[in-house]
Amino acid sequence: MLTVVLHHMPPNEDTAARALAGALELSPVEARGRLAVPQGGPAIVARRAEPAAAADLVTRLNAAGFKAFALDADRVETDARRTAARRFTLGATELQVETRAGETRALPYAEVRFLARATGIFSETTTTTVESRQFSAGRALVSGGLVLTKGKTTTTKETEEAWEGWLVVYPHDGASIVFREAGTLWDGLGTALQPTRLANFTQLCTLLRARCPAAPYDDRLMRRAGQVQLLGPGFAPESSLDLALAVLAATPR
């Protein structure tokens, strides 16, 4: 499966909406909604199962004045491929990380090509079942007063949403390194250590940006609204952060 992404919109919004509507077989209103993305994109506009179909759509979009590309599913990085940092050291010339399994990795700051700050949104549903008994006039009558109640089972579901900051460091080659707000130990900050987990996470973002001045930094995925705008109506932020990050990382700059 390939995801078709726009990363530049023609300057004339009416012309762009008509062109997008024709290419995607959308109504003008739907097409205009797809164009409402900050900084001109990127934004997912379609998925195609066949490479030829994706390539044809990209060609038609580019001919209409957009800039588009197709992202293959193989380029969507997941936790199985990322290096999840448990501990870290901010050296003079390189970032050093240690995983929960005790593996180590060093990445020179000069080899960092992109930094993405995002928010992982996770929903957890809890099911509670309560059994009770209540008076039943029918049972009392049938049993001659021997059975006065009947059982009642009530099931309720509550959904709680948890948010966690992510900082994903992309090298020119190889897997990315991800720092998770709740999964990282912050003693590597040394004298810059802050009193709260969020403050430490923010401090790390600031320090890494300063050490990697040539690497673009993007924080549009920090908020649900930014994730929704990039992903479009076909993907839920709760289950599609990997895809959103892959789109950002693959977008030409």
Q: How far apart are CA 192 and CA 163, in angstroms?
A: 24
* Of 126 and 30, more confident: 30
Report the pLDDT value the prediction gives residue 14, as an integer from 0 to 100. 82
Residue 190: pLDDT band (50, 70, 90) is very high
Residue 243: pLDDT band (50, 70, 90) is very high
Half-sphere exposure of 239 (CA within 13 A, CB side): 5
Beta bridge partners of 89: 96
Nearest to 176 by CA among 101, 103, 111: 111
Q: Is 16 left (phi over 0), alpha (psi -120 to 50) or beta?
A: alpha
Give me the amino acid identity at 213. Answer: P
Set out the domains of the chain in order of their start, with CATH numbers.
1-75+223-253 (3.30.1390.10), 83-216 (no CATH)
Q: Check: pTM over 0.85? Answer yes or no.
A: no
Percent above pLDDT 90 for the chain: 65
Q: Which of 69-78, 81-90, 120-129, 176-185 has the lowest average pLDDT? A: 120-129
104 SS3 class? strand
Report the pLDDT value the prediction gives residue 41, as an integer from 0 to 100. 76
Tokens of 138: 């029918």
Q: Which of 57-71, 148-162, 202-216 has the lowest average pLDDT? A: 148-162
Report the pLDDT value the prediction gives residue 27, as an integer from 0 to 100. 86
Report the pLDDT value the prediction gives residue 138, as an integer from 0 to 100. 61
82-102: pLDDT as tens digits: 999 999 999 999 999 999 999
Question: Is residue 8 predicted with pLDDT exceeding 80?
Answer: yes
Nearest to 29 by CA among 233, 226, 220: 233
Question: Is residue 214 predicted with pLDDT exceeding 60?
Answer: yes
Question: Is residue 106 predicted with pLDDT exceeding 60?
Answer: yes
- Average pLDDT, stretch 16-34? 84
**Burial (CB count within 10 angstroms: exposed 0-12, middle 13-18, buried 19+), residue 201:** buried
